[in-house]
């Protein structure tokens, strides 16, 4: 946004610069959604100001638009085949690289893109690193539009401690790129997250959830002073 300074700019730049170092010409990469990923797109453009020697599979319509603007070859996931690398942001993460994603509502496509990639790198800011994910964020759960209130009731019936449907500015339920509704669910403060994730997925009407528990290979975390922390170190 013109005239508005992003207080996290240096942090996102540091993570994006490190991500670009891990990209090699000729790669087919998956790109998720959100401000950190869009910063990676800027860094790619700076690295290759002319023709970009990469093929990109975007996980959201916004990322697709930005990738096209940057002159990149944009592919559909099924045309692309296996991806060399996926790069995406996170809302929260822990030292074991367990993530909450979906703050922007793109979690389903993001998970499909990550699942197709040989390697998944997270780009985020250091203040998103927490002892236990769910401390500050709810986990977005994508549910089918048909009967979403019944699905919400099933989730609240012993699966999650609290949950609310996500709404757009006009007060109507937010609709994802895949035409679904998002229900933001609180995580239990203790207990096994893998079991919790299995329980979420088993609820009729749930399509996918924003817990990415055993998917990330590396996290590149930028700090406000522009320095970088990596997990693993
Ligand atoms: C989008 O649906 C999310 O999964 C994002 O990756 C996450 O919300 C992080 O976004 P920012 O990079 O904008 O913080």
Along the chain (233 residues), what's the average pLDDT of each consecutive run of 10 residues?
75 98 97 97 94 95 93 95 96 98 96 98 98 95 98 98 97 96 96 97 98 98 98 94
Cα 210 to averaged position of ligand 1 atoms, centre (Å): 11
* CATH 3.30.70.260 in the chain, residue ranges: 139-209
Q: Work out the angle at residue 38's Cα, subtended by the Cα atoms of residues 171 and 12, and round it to the nearest 5 degrees.
A: 105
Tell me, what's the pLDDT at 64? 96
Tell me, what's the pLDDT at 166? 98
Measured CA to CA, the distance from residue 230 to residue 163 in angstroms comes to: 32
* CB of 59 shorter than 6 A to ligand 1: no
* CB of 88 shorter than 6 A to ligand 1: yes
pTM here is 0.95
For residue 124, the ligand 1 atom closest to its alpha carbon is 12
Q: Which residues contact 198 (CB under 8 A, 6 or more apart)?
A: none
* CATH 3.40.50.1360 in the chain, residue ranges: 9-131+214-231
For residue 38, the ligand 1 atom closest to its alpha carbon is 12
Phi, psi of 17 (to 5 degrees): -60, -40
Our mutation pick for probing the ligand 1 site, out of 9, 15, 16, 36, counting the most ligand atoms within 8 A of Cβ, is: 36
Residue positions annotated with a catalytic role: 110
* CB of 84 shorter than 6 A to ligand 1: no
- In this structure, the residue with its CA closest to atom 7 of ligand 1 is 90
Asked if residue 31 lies in contact with residue 88, where contact means CB atoms within 8 angstroms, the answer is: yes
Measured CA to CA, the distance from residue 144 to residue 180 in angstroms comes to: 5
* CB of 107 shorter than 6 A to ligand 1: yes
Tell me, what's the pLDDT at 135? 86
State the residue for tokens 């490190």.
18
* CB of 36 shorter than 6 A to ligand 1: yes
Q: Work out the angle at residue 83's Cα, subtended by the Cα atoms of residues 91 and 15, and round it to the nearest 5 degrees.
A: 40
Tell me, what's the pLDDT at 114? 98
Q: CA of 232: how far to CAs of 40, 90, 175, 178, in Å?
A: 20, 16, 35, 33
CATH T-level topology, domain 139-209 = Alpha-Beta Plaits (3.30.70)
Q: Between 3.40.190.10, 3.30.420.40, 3.40.50.620, 3.40.50.1360, what CATH number should domain 9-131+214-231 receive?
A: 3.40.50.1360
Query: How, if at all, do strands 139-143 and 120-125 pair?
Result: unpaired
């Amino acid at each position: 946004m013109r005239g508005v300074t992003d207080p996290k700019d240096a942090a996102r730049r540091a993570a994006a610069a490190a991500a670009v170092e891990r990209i090699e010409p000729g790669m087919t990469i998956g790109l998720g959604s959100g401000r950190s990923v869009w910063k990676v797109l800027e860094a790619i453009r700076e690295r290759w100001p002319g023709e970009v020697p990469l093929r990109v599979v975007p996980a959201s319509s916004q990322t697709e638009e930005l990738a096209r603007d940057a002159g990149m070859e944009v592919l559909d996931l099924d045309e692309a085949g296996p991806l060399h690398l996926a790069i995406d942001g996170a809302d929260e993460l822990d030292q074991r690289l367990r993530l909450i994603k979906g703050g922007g509502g793109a979690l389903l496509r993001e998970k499909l893109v990550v699942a197709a990639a040989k390697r998944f790198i997270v780009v985020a800011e250091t203040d998103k690193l927490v002892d236990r994910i769910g401390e500050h964020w709810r986990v977005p759960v994508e549910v089918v539009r048909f009967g979403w209130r019944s699905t919400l009731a099933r989730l609240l019936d012993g699966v999650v401690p609290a949950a609310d449907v996500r709404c757009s500015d006009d007060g109507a339920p937010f609709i994802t790129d895949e035409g679904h509704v998002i229900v933001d669910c609180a995580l239990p403060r203790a207990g096994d997250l893998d079991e919790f994730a299995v329980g979420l997925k088993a609820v009729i009407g749930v399509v996918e959830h924003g817990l990415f528990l055993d998917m990330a290979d590396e996290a590149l975390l930028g700090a406000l002073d522009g320095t970088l922390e990596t997990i693993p170190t």
